[in-house]
Structure 1
Amino acid sequence: MPSAEENGGDVDKPKLPYYEQFCYSVFNLLDGPVTKFREKFVEPYRNQNRPVYYHRRFRRVPTIDECYTDDAVCIFEAAEQLRRDKMVDNQIVKILRQRKVECYVWEGPDAKYKCRKISEDYEDAAANWFIKYGDLGMQSTVIDNYMKQKHRLIWERRQKEKISAQ
């Protein structure tokens, strides 16, 4: 049995047959320069110029109530921000709806009890989406959305006044 010195100093590693040693040395002879080139030049260049594959974060811009009436750029930015926020909210509701449907399909007859939390989350998200964007239509503007929010806040204030007056 070969000693640890004959085996390259590694006790656990068995000595390979000459044919396999020859194959590994030929492989390392061909692969070594390619691997070194990739590690030294290609990967550092790729890491510094790596494209971003995750969500882009836009800076928050002033909302429509903070814009002057004649500031077209501010109004446009507020409209684009509202459009992006609406797309995000649409996707959230869509994902929650899909989770609810999948849970109901998976659980079968017991879905009414086992999927209660998922169903409540979806119903809350759908109600909040409708409060924010419902009844506005596809061609609504940021001003329409702002007016809806304003009217809702006035209505809620009046409801509180009615309750406190009783």
Structure 2
Amino acid sequence: MIEIKKHSGIYTLTVMQQLPIGLSEAWEFFSSPKNLEKITPQQMGFKITSGEPGKMYPGQIISYKVSPLPGIKTSWVTEITQVKHGKFFVDEQRFGPYRMWHHEHHFEENEQGVMMTDKVSYKMPFGFLGHLAQVLLVKKQLKGIFEYRVKVLEEKFGK
């Protein structure tokens, strides 16, 4: 399930995916920043530029290069602001293409494995022009990125 809702000028994208794996395997994969490149579409040109990120921890700063449009590269800096081992972690944009980016990653063990929920709250820059970009481009692109992730994760871990 992928949905985007708007509230008070902020958009919230929610993605839920059931994975047929144990909590420790899910946590090990998703809490390693280096795996983000594996689940991001190649055309995004996603590369970590801050060196080998190692194990995730609160306060960790990670910088990337990403290509939101063909031929256009931009820098993106995020901070891991919260980590509760095996439960959730949060990354927030410090510098980058959005006015605000707050990404929650939640993991809940159940009888079928792990329910993973991504909740991304973001705000577009540039007022009306940002809203227009959201309608014409960003919404579709973000949905595409997370649809790609769902597909890659199903191929890696199963349905």
> Which interval holds the TM-score relative to the shorter structure?
under 0.3
Q: Give the TM-score normalised by the residue count of structure 2.
A: 0.23
* Greater helix fraction, Structure 1 or Structure 2: 1
* Greater strand fraction, Structure 1 or Structure 2: 2
Structure of larger gyration radius: 1
Q: Which structure would you say has the larger RCO, counting Cα contacts within 8 Å and 6 or more residues apart?
A: 2
Q: Give the TM-score normalised by the residue count of structure 1.
A: 0.22
